[in-house]
A and B are shown apart, each in its own frame.
Chain A
Amino acid sequence: MTPAELAPAVAPDLSIWGLFLQAHWVVKSVMLGLLACSIWVWAIAIDKTILYARTKRAMDRFENSFWSGQSLEELYRSLSSRPTHSMAALFVAAMREWKRSFEGQARSFAGLQMRIEKVMDVTIAREIERLERRLLVLATVGSAGPFIGLFGTVWGIMNSFQSIAASKNTSLAVVAPGIAEALFATAIGLVAAIPATIFYNKFVAEVNKQAARLEGFADEFAAILSRQIDERG
């Protein structure tokens, strides 16, 4: 056998598109799924980055105005007209509860302190839920992506070994393209999983930081309101 006979008739297309087209349909679906995962991960990452930056800015702005000595009534009036998020939402929720307790005929101071705290807890939970939404996707892709890619690789290598057995030819020129296309699946899996893991860790830290900040504000505000209740009661 001459080397020319050993080499496959057509030189394998080793470009990315060629690798994708030559792959088995299972490997193809794995690749496509991982590509979708990667797109989704990056979309979430961009979305969350924008969200956290905006939340942070909003918190800074609100804290500035809150501690500027402005009357809480005025602040409430300016904020309650439109839907708010994070710290402002917390403030609005607490103030609404406060106002309701005073505007009614029977002044009910007894459970006001507790009610305000409850309302603020619920708001914090809702805000954190909003911040944390879709972070689980990142975690899932980060942990499962390599395995999915590995599955595609194993399937592709299995397939290429079967074709080796069928062609009864073990030269590297026959083996290499199949393995290359199979390994491409793992590469996509890693490409999807690595940013997902990094973003997940980063975002979880960010969420914790913002939650701590919200809780801190909630405690401070609860203390202010409690003092007011005691003064008035």
Chain B
Amino acid sequence: MRKGLAISAVLHAAVLLWGMLTFDVSPFETATAESVPVDFISTEDFSKLTAGIKSAPKPETPKPLVEKVADKKPAPEPAEKVTEKKEIVTASTAEPPPPAEAKKPEKADKPEQKVDPIAEALKKEEKKDKPAQKKAETTPLPPRKRPPPPQPKFDPTKVAALLDKRDPQRNAATGEEINRTPSLGAPSGNSPQLSQSELDALRARLMQLWNPPIGIRNAGEMIIRIRVLVGRDGRLTAPPMVITSGRGTTYESARDSAVRAVFRAQPFDMLRPETYETWRDMEITFDPRDMFRG
């Protein structure tokens, strides 16, 4: 027995020694991949990404906003209204000269009449109607005869030029080629998403008003989808359209009840006007199971 034990112990020692010497842990040969930056975003963030569409075609180089082919000019403030009508621009600059020319002979005729016609016109306007009328009546004829010829000329041109009521304008941003997309993204850069509270409020209102027939046997078939077009004031702009179809009196009564509920739920004032684009055209699902689930 002692012999066996000795042999066994020696054998084990040898195996252990061999194991210690050769049991080498070689790390896995992994190709060092470049680290990929990963951002975690919520689904809400993702849906809000519509402000910049990721799948939009990418231009090779970011192009400046260009609306008209011309020499390069920096785009002015975009808040101003864009106009392309050059005639208007010329009207305000080119039309005044003729009156000025027409005026000159008169001015030459009567140099003593140094009163600025515009100022005079303004003064007249400033004066109240009654004194103006009185003056007109009291003033002698010769001076009265003189002013009228210039007056009709002043009013449409100079006054109109003074009271330039056109919107602030800017010249079209010029560039070498027309590029209407300033950057990646939708033009209305807001995120079209109804918040959960709005949806819940709408659902609660509709469920409150909807009275499906009691004792529906197969509630799963009683799902009614209604397309609703709503105006900015929260009222229906068109009669609600039932999308789903079904048969049977219970279905019809449930459908009619749903349509009634939509009518009675007006106005949808729980929807914020800022998100109008999202609830302008809605599809509302009436599911009896949701109701009975509570």
Say whether B20 contacts A15, CB under 8 Å. yes
Say whether A16 contacts B23, CB under 8 Å. yes
| Chain B residues within an 8 Å CB radius of A46 | 3-4, 7-8
Bound Cα distance from A44 to B7, whole angstroms: 10
Closest to B18 in A: A16
| Chain B residues within an 8 Å CB radius of A41 | 8
Tell yes or no: A47 within 8 A of B by CB. Answer: yes
4 nearest A-B pairs in the assembled complex, by CB-CB distance: A47-B4, A42-B8, A43-B8, A46-B4
**Interface-forming stretch among B9-17, B50-58, B89-97?**
B9-17
Say whether A39 contacts B5, CB under 8 Å. yes
Q: How far is the CB of B34 from chain A (nearest CB, A)?
A: 13
Q: How far is the CB of A13 from chain B (nearest CB, A)?
A: 9
Say whether B24 contacts A50, CB under 8 Å. no
Q: How many residues of B contact A (CB 8 A)?
A: 16
| Chain A residues within an 8 Å CB radius of B3 | 46-47, 50
Q: How far is the CB of B294 from chain A (nearest CB, A)?
A: 40
**A interface footprint on B1-40 (CB within 8 Å = 1, 0 otherwise):** 1011111110110001001100111000000000000000
Bound Cα distance from A58 to B226, whole angstroms: 101
Chain A positions within 8 Å of B, measured between CB atoms, are 14-17, 35, 38-48, 50
Bound Cα distance from A47 to B8, whole angstroms: 10
Q: How far is the CB of B254 from chain A (nearest CB, A)?
A: 52
Say whether A39 contacts B12, CB under 8 Å. yes
| Chain A residues within an 8 Å CB radius of B4 | 42-48, 50
Say whether B1 contacts A16, CB under 8 Å. no
Say whether A16 contacts B5, CB under 8 Å. no
Say whether A38 contacts B12, CB under 8 Å. yes
16 contacts between A and B (CB under 8 A): A16-B19, A35-B12, A38-B12, A39-B5, A39-B12, A40-B8, A41-B8, A42-B8, A43-B5, A43-B7, A43-B8, A44-B4, A45-B4, A45-B8, A46-B4, A48-B4
